């Protein structure tokens, strides 16, 4: 194989690889998130129970904070991964799934890293990093 032929082949293949990899990236834009809440304060009383959640401002369309266990919290973006411009997900009555009732009726597990459980959505919920100090009751959410 000649060097010129090999170079042309690389030039043709690289864009295909680049754009096919880009296909699996969520359409939700990255925005700066960095805040702390004290779950001992009255406005966060709903987070004192395992399996509970609250909505807070931040992210693109708001954030769901979900208490997974005594010392583990998860934070998910409310913008729908299927179409972030269409609406926001809400937590189901059972409390363990987030559902997009406006755009696509996709469902996402709050217990399993925001994974799609029903949908046409191919993407899980976008998540934010959490750290919790059980002594002070301070939960930090960031990206």
pLDDT of residue 57 exceeding 80: yes
**Strand locations in 25-89 (E):** 34-38, 53-56, 63-69, 72-77
Domain 26-142: give its CATH code: 2.102.10.10
User: At 20, is the pLDDT very low, low, confident or very high (cuts 50, 70, 90)?
Assistant: very low
81-89: average pLDDT: 89
Q: In angstroms, what CA-CA distances link 81 with 4, 15, 97, 117?
A: 43, 25, 14, 13
Q: What is the pLDDT of residue 25?
A: 54
- Report phi then psi at 47, rounded to 5: -85, 5
Q: What is the pLDDT of residue 86?
A: 83
State the chain's mean pLDDT as an integer: 85
Q: What is the pLDDT of residue 11?
A: 43
Total length of the chain: 143
The answer to whether 101 touches 50, Cβ cutoff 8 Å, is no
User: Does the model's pTM come out above 0.75?
Assistant: yes
Boundaries of every domain in the chain: 26-142
* Percent share of the chain, pLDDT over 70: 82
Higher pLDDT, 57 or 12: 57
The whole-angstrom separation of Cα 63 and Cα 72 is 16
């Amino acid at each position: 194989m000649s060097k010129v032929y090999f170079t042309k082949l690389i030039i043709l293949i690289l864009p295909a690889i680049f754009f096919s990899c880009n296909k699996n990236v969520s359409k939700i834009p990255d925005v700066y998130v960095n805040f702390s809440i004290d779950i001992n304060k009255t406005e966060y009383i709903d987070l004192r129970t395992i399996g509970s959640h609250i909505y807070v401002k931040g992210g693109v369309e708001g954030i769901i904070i979900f208490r997974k266990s005594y010392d583990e919290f998860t934070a998910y973006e409310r913008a729908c991964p299927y179409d972030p411009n269409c609406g926001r997900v809400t937590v189901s009555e059972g409390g363990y799934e987030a559902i997009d009732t406006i755009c696509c009726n996709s469902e996402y597990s709050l217990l399993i890293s925001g994974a799609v459980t029903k949908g046409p959505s191919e993407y899980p919920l976008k998540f934010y990093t959490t750290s919790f100090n059980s002594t002070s009751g301070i939960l930090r959410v960031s990206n």
